[in-house]
Structure 1
Amino acid sequence: MGKLRWKKNFTSKIQSYQGNLQVQLEKDQLSGNLEEDFIHIQQLFEGAVDFAHRELTICSTYSAIIVYLNGLVNVERMEFHVINPLINYNGELHKGTEPTIDHIKSVMSSAQVSHGGTFQEVIDQILSGGTILFIHGLKEALFISEQSWEQRSVEEPLSEAVVLGPREGFTENIRTNASMIRRRLKTTKLKIEFMKIGTHSQTEVVITYLEDIAQPSIVKEVRSRLSGIEIDSIEDSGYIVEFIEDEPFSVFPQVLQTERPDRVVGNLLEGKIGILVANSPFALIVPVSFFEMMNSPEDYYGRFIITSFIRFIRYLFLFIALLFPSIYIAVTTFHQELLPTNLLFSVASSREKVPFPAVVEALLMEITFEALREAGLRLPKPIGSTVSIVGALVIGQAAVEAGIVSAPLVIVVATTGIASFMFPNYALTGAIRLLRFFMIFFAAMLGFYGILLGVLFILVHLVQLRSFGVPYMAPVAPTKFNNFKDLIIRAPWWKMELRPQQTGKRNVERLASRNRKY
């Protein structure tokens, strides 16, 4: 009836089929012939040492074979939930007739079992860590979810230091990351959509948003940009960033990368869209503004008065990180009359033995500082910070004593370096570091006029910049006074009744009217 005796000559039959069977993955259907279907699959995985299979007989009647990849499947669970129930089943399969998909499913104890009838579906399931069950006589295979591979546990985010708030960070497992978001938003309005990107990697990508808050036009645009990516492989979410940004040649980041689930959830509640990428602990948030890049999730966990003060300091040091070296060059080269007399004499005496002009002196120190910073990042952690700190002290002191640079410039470069560490977003830090060199050249050519010209160029660029169609300088340009409560000064939570109008206008109100108001 469905009985097949083929085990003794199985090897010779495989050899006879080799080279004769052509698999067109997009169209070919499973034939129901166990030998032919298995050999098709084996041909595709020829040379793959992790390709494994297991032959078995169901109910002492029906021949079957299980196919999987070693390392992607929990073999013990597969034995317990799949193989043992099928081998030891004593009942009749559909009254002794041909086996059916539903009856086979009822025999196994696995939680997730699906089925498909094309080779493309089978290949996709195998490569995703699925266990495939072929049964002679059935033109569909069963896909059993018993995936298991080594993964990093949930830990504190490494790139975003946590003082206040949750200490969970994303991992490389996309389903773990999606579950962290689902656990924080217990609503059916939270939508999680899967897609695959990468010709060879077939990397899973998740789009997540709140259906009643996010604007459909932005969600549609995110889908469109992601589906338009054609590349061999996606190894990290950083690959995707350059494909979906509005202005890829801008130094300013238009996509927010974060390791923190609480930050993703906070942005989803403002109408934004989160993007998760398999094998990457960094989630992407779009659209974003410049001011959101300057904010930290911890700003919302502390007292609003302290948070507002910290934000003010952060913006003050933004100008220091960008302009301090260029101001020093402009003053010492063109505008010495702006310095008090005593300070002018002190600066002049310290630069008396320096053989280089101020701009060369500043560039030498800035480039050296950047090299020390990168060396500290690349070295092992126990010695990385020591090398960067000690190196800066030793080189700075030696350069001053040798008369290569002046002592005031060492102070300027050190203060600038400290200021650049204050920004919560690493990508924004890189943009400010790069623009600082351009501001140095402007100051060396035109003094304060050059600095003013450079700042105007940056502001014009920021104003015309967009992130998925949303103005990058919102809510300042265009001006939305209702959103100023969460700009530089953070208002108390009971005062922030409305979501940002640029992304949350579908459902503007965020607080109930009975909340305390003054």
Structure 2
Amino acid sequence: MVTISSSIEVNEAYLREQFDLCSDIVFRPFTLKDDTLLLLAYLDGMVNVQSIENNVLKPLIFSGLPQGIERIQTLADMLKREWLPLANVKTEESMECLVQQILHGSLAIMVDGEASVLLAQVQEFEMRGIQEPLKESTLRGSKEGFVENIRTNTSLIRRRIIHPQLKMESFTIGTYTQTEVVLTYVKGLAAEHVLTEVRDKLGQIEINGVIDSAYIEEWIENSSFSLFPQIQNTERPDIVTASLLDGKVALLTNGTPFALILPSTFWSGLQSADDYFERFVFIILTRMVRYIMTFISFALPAIYVSLSTFHPEMIPSNLMIGIATARESSPFPTVIEVFIMMFIFDGLQEAGVHLPNQLGPVVSIIGALVIGQAAVEAGIISTPIIIVISLTGIAAYTIPRYSATLPFRIIRYMMLFISGALGFVGLTFGIIFLLIHLVMLESFGTPYLSPVAPFDGKRIRDLFIRYPFWMKNGRNKKKKRAAQ
């Protein structure tokens, strides 16, 4: 460890060497009335320059340091007692720590003849304001979303859980980025084995930099090669709050608005925040539709191929005649037709995501209509294929979370090809292998299909239907006791 020298020239030379070719570093030397040499060092764009001028430069230049006691201690006392805007002031004696503090936006004040440096917290930089999350919009509920500043995000949670048992542990990850990651949970509700596992995994991360919470997610998830995400990500502080109150833990990463929630289950990706903001009687139908559409999103193309190719006797005669008539001019087998349209649909979906907001929906809709109509008129694709793929795409959009739709996009192709080879036998084996994988999968000690497998009668009642809050909290029991 390199200690700070009492010579201001030595300290300045060390800092200039560390920040060589850094045009945004500012060194401001000046002399007080009593010929005391001072040096200010800070990063331009990371500090409040107006605060530095009003609270540091002007008082020191016009008044100087108070006399009669040690200079650096006097300077610290003066900042703490008289310059109230600089509420967080501390001294540092290590050059390595000094460099890190300057990189984080602190103002370094060095006095010639003193072997320590005063650090003032005057950080100020441009950041995005709190807005409604675009990817997780709801009809009812909070319109606040996380931003890239981690302190703003922690405050959004603190405002919702006003209790000292809400804990926030800080970790620094990334050799070059030095990214702050906050582990937040409610003590007494979160499982200790989950907290221990998360702390251990965060401590084992060795990476040059963390740009997004996705970097953390890939490092700490249990099964990296599984298609299914074992950690939920969200931009909504109300979802994080509800998860913390359910005994889960969350990870907030500086520089990204996406928080990570764990442990996560298969059903987490199929539930929407609106399920808890609307009246419970309507959510029963909504969830049933969503679960059925989820099955359709990956199984419908395979079912169509199996029926039309291997089991036409299971289709009503009139319908089968119509399908056969529509396919009469098609030059490809059914499985190839379905694959071509699925591939085109996924390509249009990706184009719509990456194009500008004004052009994305237009290109997707017009492209699907033009290509589909042209393919049918040219005899390349039959009309029933267009219907099947369109319904499959609509079903996929009923899944509330984008990350939950990605596994089904790949599974859709797997089921298609195995059904194209073996018919319903292949589809059955594919679903069995999928269920085996989901049963074996875990997220931080929690079975991925819980509370269905293993079965938990208390928790499963909030899975397919949503019980009213007063029943979940036991208000119905209190009413019965009062009636007795």
> How far apart are residue 56 of structure 1 and its match?
3.2
C-alpha separation in 1, matches of 2:399 and 2:227: 16
What secondary structure sits across from 1:31 in the alignment?
A: coil
Q: What is the CA deviation profile of residues 138-185 of structure 1, one whole-angstrom value per residue up to 9, with x for unaligned ones?
A: 222122111111111111101112211101111111111111111111
1:494–1:516: 8 Å Cα contact kept in structure 2? Answer: no
Change over 3 Å in CA distance of 1:514–1:141 after alignment to 2: farther
> Does structure 1 residue 54 correspond to structure 2 residue 28?
yes
C-alpha separation in 1, matches of 2:240 and 2:362: 34
* Counterpart among 36, 40, 45 of residue 14 in structure 2: 40
Partner in structure 2 of residue 190 of structure 1? 166
> Does structure 1 residue 132 correspond to structure 2 residue 108?
yes
Q: 1:103 is matched by which residue type in structure 2?
A: D
Q: 2:209 is matched by which residue type in structure 1?
A: S
* Counterpart among 318, 321, 330 of residue 306 in structure 2: 330
C-alpha separation in 1, matches of 2:464 and 2:168: 33
Partner in structure 1 of residue 443 of structure 2? 467
C-alpha separation in 2, matches of 1:372 and 1:315: 25
Q: Which moved more, 1:227-236 or 1:79-88?
A: 79-88
Q: 1:408 is matched by which residue type in structure 2?
A: P
> Does structure 1 residue 146 correspond to structure 2 residue 101?
no
Q: 1:361 is matched by which residue type in structure 2?
A: E
* Counterpart among 31, 48, 70 of residue 5 in structure 2: 31
Change over 3 Å in CA distance of 1:516–1:89 after alignment to 2: farther
* Counterpart among 214, 217, 223 of residue 190 in structure 2: 214
Aligned length, in residue pairs? 479
> Does structure 1 residue 229 correspond to structure 2 residue 205?
yes
Q: 1:63 is matched by which residue type in structure 2?
A: L
> How far apart are residue 202 of structure 1 and its match?
0.8
Q: What is the CA deviation profile of residues 293-349 of structure 1, one whole-angstrom value per residue up to 9, with x for unaligned ones?
A: 111111111000111211111001011001000000000110000011110111110
Instruction: Identify unmatched segments of 5+ residues in structure 2.
Output: none
> Does structure 1 residue 478 correspond to structure 2 residue 454?
yes
Partner in structure 1 of residue 380 of structure 2? 404
Partner in structure 2 of residue 181 of structure 1? 157
What secondary structure sits across from 1:285 in the alignment?
A: strand
C-alpha separation in 2, matches of 1:89 and 1:514: 70
Alignment of 1:231-250 (within 5 A): 231-250=207-226
Q: 1:74 is matched by which residue type in structure 2?
A: N
What secondary structure sits across from 1:482 in the alignment?
A: helix
What secondary structure sits across from 1:155 in the alignment?
A: coil
RMSD between aligned residues = 1.8
Q: 1:242 is matched by which residue type in structure 2?
A: E
Change over 3 Å in CA distance of 1:178–1:59 after alignment to 2: farther
Partner in structure 1 of residue 392 of structure 2? 416
> Does structure 1 residue 447 correspond to structure 2 residue 423?
yes
What secondary structure sits across from 1:381 in the alignment?
A: coil
Change over 3 Å in CA distance of 1:233–1:512 after alignment to 2: farther
2:232–2:261: 8 Å Cα contact kept in structure 1? Answer: yes
Change over 3 Å in CA distance of 1:216–1:356 after alignment to 2: same
Q: 1:358 is matched by which residue type in structure 2?
A: T
Partner in structure 2 of residue 495 of structure 1? 471
What secondary structure sits across from 1:100 in the alignment?
A: helix
What secondary structure sits across from 1:389 in the alignment?
A: helix
Change over 3 Å in CA distance of 1:43–1:90 after alignment to 2: closer
C-alpha separation in 2, matches of 1:394 and 1:382: 19
**Consecutive aligned runs of 4 or more in structure 1 exceeding 6 Å deviation:** 515-518
Q: 1:253 is matched by which residue type in structure 2?
A: P
> How far apart are residue 58 of structure 1 and its match?
5.0
> Does structure 1 residue 343 correspond to structure 2 residue 319?
yes
> How far apart are residue 248 of structure 1 and its match?
0.4
Change over 3 Å in CA distance of 1:414–1:180 after alignment to 2: same
Partner in structure 1 of residue 346 of structure 2? 370
1:85–1:108: 8 Å Cα contact kept in structure 2? Answer: no
Instruction: Identify unmatched segments of 5+ residues in structure 1.
Output: 1-26, 499-510
What secondary structure sits across from 1:223 in the alignment?
A: helix
* Counterpart among 254, 265, 270 of residue 294 in structure 1: 270
C-alpha separation in 2, matches of 1:389 and 1:471: 40
Change over 3 Å in CA distance of 1:181–1:97 after alignment to 2: closer
Output the TM-score relative to the length of structure 1.
0.89
* Counterpart among 365, 381, 384 of residue 389 in structure 1: 365
Partner in structure 2 of residue 100 of structure 1? 73
Alignment of 1:63-82 (within 5 A): 63-82=37-56
> How far apart are residue 441 of structure 1 and its match?
0.8
Q: 1:228 is matched by which residue type in structure 2?
A: Q
> How far apart are residue 90 of structure 1 and its match?
6.0
Q: 2:446 is matched by which residue type in structure 1?
A: V
What secondary structure sits across from 2:359 in the alignment?
A: helix
C-alpha separation in 2, matches of 1:211 and 1:433: 38
C-alpha separation in 2, matches of 1:279 and 1:52: 24
Q: 1:227 is matched by which residue type in structure 2?
A: G
- Residue identity over aligned pairs, in percent, reads 40
Q: 1:85 is matched by which residue type in structure 2?
A: P
2:138–2:273: 8 Å Cα contact kept in structure 1? Answer: no
Q: 2:455 is matched by which residue type in structure 1?
A: T
* Counterpart among 251, 265, 272 of residue 275 in structure 1: 251
Q: 1:289 is matched by which residue type in structure 2?
A: T
Partner in structure 2 of residue 506 of structure 1? none
> How far apart are residue 512 of structure 1 and its match?
10
2:33–2:64: 8 Å Cα contact kept in structure 1? Answer: yes
Change over 3 Å in CA distance of 1:298–1:86 after alignment to 2: farther
